Amino acid sequence: MSQRYGGEFSPKSSDRNSDTRTDTGPVERSPYRGKIRSRAGGRVNLLFLAPLPLAFLAFFRDPGDLILRLLAFGALIAAAWLTREGILAQEEYDARKIARRPAVPRKLFGSAMTGIGLFLAASVDGTPIIAAALGLLGAGLHMLSFGLDPLRDKGMEDVDTFQTDRVARAVTEAEKHLRAMKETIDRTKDRRLEGRVDRFIATARAMFRTVEDDPRDLTAARKYLGVYLLGARDATTKFVDIYMRDPGGLARADYETLLDDLEANFAARTRQFLDDNRTDLDVEIEVLRERLAREGVRTE
């Protein structure tokens, strides 16, 4: 890595092919290009805003109503938080080809908390039957709007769970580094820099998907998912600290060059994994053809 930002590796390592180009490879085929922005916004943000009148109006009522309104406010805010976390967990689940279902069904709990919050709010001025009906209606509408959490593991049928667990842990740790990079670069409020980091993240995730498809690649990819991304995260943090003090300095060009080199390395290694997998397939096909030939079966 560039000495300007510290670290222990050089992007121009021996792992990169001599003919690597940054405008080819998995970056262009990545299904994650343009999908960095999370869906945990919009309607979810409204869930945080909707209960605010309860907290404000609570202080103009008698103590009993005040307690009910504040409890309702707390339940609805908890529902909004659970819903947001549930959506983020589902996005991570959907992005992976091999994934375990979320351990906690956050969206389901969010629906339940919505029902409880509406029941408490309606109990202030309404009858228990009306309050219960509003609570059930609110919970049902929440469930229809945001759906249920993933209820089963994905892509884990007839696979070595030990290997997939190793890959899942490595990818989870790598995703933490990518999220830290994204959150750090967002501090600059520079769309060009944000887009540049998004492109690198898409390239890195293309490698993640390749390793998930064939866990045997994990050993060769471990330094990319660990050391390289950790170095990229630390370099991003140091760059942003410099950039915030001196936006017009040379640090920007050095940082973009670093991202170019990292992206080229990740793309080249991902192509190598794909080529190795294709070679393995060709060998399997050739062995099968020889076996069929010995049995007297002709193949085209």
Q: What is the pLDDT of residues 180-207, one digit of tens each?
A: 999 999 999 999 999 999 999 999 999 8
CB atoms within 10 A of CB 185: 24
Q: CA angle, 33 as apex, 152 and 143 as ends, to 5°?
A: 35
Helix runs in 2-160, H state only? 26-29, 43-49, 52-58, 63-95, 106-123, 128-146
Q: Measuring CA to CA, which residue among 8, 16, 3 is closest to residue 231?
A: 8
Average pLDDT of every residue of the chain? 78
* Secondary structure of residue 133 in the 3-state scheme: helix
- What is the tens place of the pLDDT at every residue in 103-151? 889 999 999 999 999 999 998 887 889 999 999 999 999 999 999 898 8
- What is the tens place of the pLDDT at every residue in 19-61? 333 333 333 333 333 344 556 667 788 889 988 988 888 787 7
Q: How far apart are CA 177 and CA 115, in angstroms?
A: 36
Q: How far apart are CA 115 and CA 121, in angstroms?
A: 10
Q: How far apart are CA 269 and CA 231, in angstroms?
A: 17
Q: Has this prediction a pTM greater than 0.85?
A: no
Q: CA angle, 207 as apex, 93 and 222 as ends, to 5°?
A: 100
Q: How far apart are CA 81 and CA 51, in angstroms?
A: 12
Q: Distance from first CA to last CA of the chain, Å, rounded?
A: 51
